[in-house]
Amino acid sequence: MSKIVVVVGSLRAESYNRQFAQALTRLPAATGHDFVFADIGSLPLYDQDDDADQAQSVKDLKELVRSSDGVIFVTPEYNRSIPGVLKNAIDHASRPYGDSAWAGKPAGVIGVSIGAVGTALAQQHLRNVLAYLDMPTLGAPEAFIQWKDGLITPEGTIGEQSAGFVGGWLEAFFALVDRHQD
Ligand code: FNR
């Protein structure tokens, strides 16, 4: 059983991506695993001058990531890329140079958009960043999710039309995590 950090790239209270991430953790494939949602909204704006004296919220994020077996990024697409709040969190935990918390952690990338592209372009940008951070990232299946009525049930689970596909994605992610266990 694994401990997984979930990083949601939206701070919006009713965020579709947060709702989706929570529903993801209720899938049968998630049973027995431990999911911890990272708090990226309390991080300061990244400033390299603070590298030698990182804020407690930054230290907490790094410790959380280090204690995990893998990371799932659930992100919206903003202007065909990832939201600044997500990049801010990634940059924080990657520093100071040589002390990145991300290195070697298996990653999954998934996201929900109201647009037909389903966060495909944001995910592609994110993959570029994760490659540089030396995070082995699930290549397939890809999961570009469009927000539609019924995607999330009133009970907060993934709707029946998508549960099989998303469950398969989660199983593939856990297989990646297993391959990278020490
Ligand atoms: C968007 N949205 C959006 N959608 C998309 O498919 N491609 C895009 O490039 C963008 N760009 C974009 C920029 C900004 C600044 C905002 C606020 C929104 C729409 C986006 O998919 C929608 O707002 C989602 O609801 C955002 O995800 P959360 O916050 O619901 O998780």
- The pLDDT mean for the chain works out to 97
In the structure, what pLDDT confidence band is assigned to residue 129 with cuts at 50, 70 and 90? very high
Distance 75 CA to ligand 1 centre (A): 10
Distance, CA of 87 to CA of 127 (rounded, Å): 12
Tens digits of residue pLDDT in 73-94: 999 999 999 999 999 999 999 9
What pLDDT is stored for residue 148 in this prediction? 96
- Does residue 106 sit in helix, strand or coil? coil
Instruction: Name which residue sits closest to atom 15 of ligand 1, judged by CA.
Output: 78
Distances (CA, A) of 148 to 44, 112, 159, 163, 165: 33, 10, 10, 14, 15
**152 bridge partner residues:** 158
Distance, CA of 4 to CA of 22 (rounded, Å): 13
**74 bridge partner residues:** 8, 110
State whether the beta carbon of 76 lies less than 6 angstroms from ligand 1.
Answer: yes
pTM: 0.98
Q: 32: number of CA atoms within 13 Å, CB side?
A: 6
State whether the beta carbon of 11 lies less than 6 angstroms from ligand 1.
Answer: no
Mean pLDDT computed over 40-66? 98
Mean pLDDT computed over 123-140? 98
Distance, CA of 125 to CA of 81 (rounded, Å): 6
Distance 76 CA to ligand 1 centre (A): 6
Q: Which atom of ligand 1 is nearest to the CA of 17?
A: 31
Mean pLDDT computed over 106-129? 97
**Selection from 116, 113, 103 nearest residue 83 by Cα:** 113
Asked whether the predicted pLDDT for residue 172 surpasses 80, the reply is yes
Tens digits of residue pLDDT in 57-78: 999 999 999 999 999 999 999 9
**Owner of token pair 């297989």:** 175
Distance, CA of 85 to CA of 142 (rounded, Å): 23
What pLDDT is stored for residue 5 in this prediction? 98
What pLDDT is stored for residue 127 in this prediction? 98
